[in-house]
Amino acid sequence: MKRFLTEHTEFFRQVRDTFHTTGAVAPSSSFVARALTRPMERHNGPKRILEVGPGTGSITRRIVTLLRPEDRLDTVELNDKFVDVLRHRLQHEPDFVRVADRVGVHHMAIQDFKADAPYDYIISGLPINNFTADLVREMFGVMFNLLAPEGVLTYFEYIYMRKVKKILSTGARRDRLTKLDALMEELCAKHRFHRDSVLINVPPAWANHLRHVKTPA
């Protein structure tokens, strides 16, 4: 119960105050977390993981349970309140405390993040439907530059949410969503090798798995 309150109380406060950069309507379910982290479960040897836009850490909680002593996790979060929640969890929650020496919390936009080595897995919780196509293209470009040659970049989005919003929108907002939809279709056609459907989530979601070069799962 305490963990539930930790994730949800601050999350809903930030949805109210900063929806443009939060985007979700509730913390992601454990089913989404498992879908997003599935590619790394079969990894052999040390792995480097980057989580972009972790929020209150609902996905992070799943990631830390998969960390081995030789692994490294970095998180990049723009919202200062979410950063405080993540740092608190690393100091006080047993699963987080266990791996705190292998986890970095970076308070910045992904465009400003610098890494000393590429990542085997990048998981994005960025609310892409809230952004322009140009900004999303920039952010995905940065993430692909941080991804190892054989690495996997995974992001989630709500099923058909963008298409529904586009139908219900007019003017500049509809133009923005149309351009964004075209961009995401382009990215998926070029890079996506697998997609998981997660129906037990609010709302239901897709977990899209991308590689530099599209190859079978």
Predicted pLDDT at 11: 44
Residue 85 has pLDDT above 70, yes or no: yes
Kindly report the pTM of this predicted structure: 0.87
pLDDT tens for each residue of 160-210: 999 899 999 999 999 999 999 999 999 999 999 999 999 988 889 999 999
pLDDT tens for each residue of 119-139: 999 999 999 999 999 999 999
Structural domains in the chain? 2-210 (3.40.50.150)
Predicted pLDDT at 27: 64
Return the closest-CA partner of residue 209 out of 169, 152, 158, 168: 152
Residue 105 has pLDDT above 60, yes or no: yes
pLDDT tens for each residue of 87-97: 999 999 999 99
Contacts of 171 (CB under 8 A, 6+ apart): none
Predicted pLDDT at 3: 54
